[in-house]
């Protein structure tokens, strides 16, 4: 079967088209014929070597954390799914840039929901970013009705999802920051109450909120942005760190400063959740698919490229030139 992967870590040039054997489902798994695969920043980190050197079959790693397609085979003990059923799946061990993948059923949900059937292409943009958005807002962020939120990387995959889910969860005002002026119009379409350039955001936000700040900040950027984000927290405000897009050195803060100023910092990592509370990811994916089928959210797919152009997709995301959700088509 066709796949795209890499034998060594490096830039986009290490991605290559491959011919690999089709996988067979183990107990508790299904195999899925992939129609679309989502592209995420963690897959760039995977390729660059931030998760280690390639150790897949034959020394090849295949990226890809989320897919949508149809079930083609059931492993032992699988119930509640049938061959031919349209599904979306999160793949914590990667592998989605391939025509057929195996998926643990704990991370698989049918596109047939109580609100109707979710669109196949749009569903491919949900399995990683929407459980992440739910997690940073509800679990790590403890968002309560009426609270105000600031979302960094507002035009990205998780940012786009979090902006919509924050409204669904009853947030008050929702603000966002972006890295370039070109991204402001797109982010504004997602329903933010205000979108600012990331540089100088603290001053802009203070002006917008009369100096109060916000109750929750979602930060995948790190470095100076994370440090400045603490200064815009209202009393009992929370900062949730869930990435390091800026590739900054490790940043630390003082516990003394936190308790003296009624602020807190939390973290979220979907990989850890997949290991220690996998059922949470499945629950959030199911809820996201229901909201999608009901027309309450949209994954914001802005580009769909053929599998052979995976390197282009990575380049767009890595350089910050992309916005919204990028998919790879395998149909």
Q: What is the pLDDT of residues 61-91, one digit of tens each?
A: 999 999 999 999 999 999 999 999 999 999 9
Answer for the pair 234, 215: CB distance below 8 angstroms, yes or no.
Answer: yes
Phi-psi region of 183 (alpha: psi -120 to 50; beta: other; left: phi over 0): alpha
pLDDT over 90 at 322, yes or no:
no
| H-run or E-run covering 72 | strand 66-74
| Each residue's pLDDT tens digit, 88-135 | 999 999 999 999 999 999 999 999 999 999 999 999 999 999 999 999
Question: What are φ and ψ of residue 99, in 5° steps?
Answer: -70, -30
For the chain, helix (H) and strand (E) counts, in that order, are 11, 17
**What average pLDDT is seen over the chain?**
95
Fold matches, 2-125+272-329 and 129-267: no
Average pLDDT over residues 17-46: 96
DSSP state of 13: G
pLDDT tens-digit map of 143-192: 999 999 999 999 888 999 999 999 999 999 999 999 999 889 988 888 89
What percentage of the chain carries pLDDT values higher than 90?
86
pLDDT-derived band at 207 (thresholds 50, 70, 90) equals very high
Domain ranges across the chain = 2-125+272-329, 129-267
More confident residue, 232 or 187: 232
Which pLDDT score is estimated for 245?
76
Is pLDDT larger for residue 7 or for residue 319?
A: 7
250: pLDDT strictly greater than 80 = no
- CATH number attached to the domain at 129-267: 3.40.50.720
Residues 251-300 pLDDT 10s: 788 899 999 999 999 999 999 999 999 999 999 999 999 999 999 998 88
pTM of the model: 0.93
Q: Which residue has the higher pLDDT, 251 or 223?
A: 223
Helix (H, G, I), strand (E, B) or coil at 296: coil
Q: Degrees (nearest 5) of the Cα angle 268, 270, 275?
A: 115
Q: Do 87 and 112 meet the contact criterion of CB atoms below 8 Å apart?
A: no
pLDDT at 248 over 80: no
For the domain spanning 2-125+272-329, the CATH number is 3.90.180.10
């Amino acid at each position: 079967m066709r796949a795209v992967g890499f034998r060594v870590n490096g830039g986009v040039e290490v991605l290559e088209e491959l011919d690999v054997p089709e996988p067979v489902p183990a107990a508790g798994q299904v195999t899925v014929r992939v129609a679309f695969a989502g592209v995420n920043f963690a897959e760039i980190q995977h390729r660059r070597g931030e998760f280690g050197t390639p150790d897949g079959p034959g020394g090849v790693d295949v990226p890809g954390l989320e897919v949508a397609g149809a079930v083609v085979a059931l492993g032992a003990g699988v119930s509640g799914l049938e061959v031919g059923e349209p599904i979306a799946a999160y793949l914590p061990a990667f592998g989605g840039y391939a025509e057929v993948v195996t998926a643990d059923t704990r991370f698989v949900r049918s596109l047939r929901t109580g609100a109707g059937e979710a669109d196949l292409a749009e569903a491919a943009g949900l399995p990683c970013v929407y459980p992440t958005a739910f997690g940073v807002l509800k679990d790590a962020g403890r968002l309560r009705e009426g609270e105000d939120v600031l979302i960094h990387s507002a035009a990205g995959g998780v940012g786009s999802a979090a902006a919509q889910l924050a409204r669904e969860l009853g947030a008050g005002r929702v603000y966002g920051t972006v890295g370039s002026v070109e991204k402001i119009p797109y982010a504004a379409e997602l329903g933010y109450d205000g979108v600012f350039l990331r540089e100088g955001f603290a001053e802009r936000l203070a002006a917008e909120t009369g100096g109060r700040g916000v109750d929750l900040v979602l930060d995948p950027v790190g470095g100076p942005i994370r440090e400045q984000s603490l200064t815009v927290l209202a009393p009992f405000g929370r900062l949730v760190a869930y990435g390091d897009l800026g590739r900054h050195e490790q940043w630390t803060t003082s516990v003394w400063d936190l308790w003296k100023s009624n602020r807190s910092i939390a973290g979220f990592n979907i990989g850890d959740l997949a290991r220690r509370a996998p059922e949470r990811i499945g629950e959030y994916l199911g809820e996201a698919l229901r909201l999608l089928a009901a027309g309450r959210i949209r994954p914001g797919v802005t580009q769909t490229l053929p599998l052979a152009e995976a390197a282009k997709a990575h380049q767009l995301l890595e350089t910050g030139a992309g916005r919204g959700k990028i998919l790879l088509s395998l149909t």
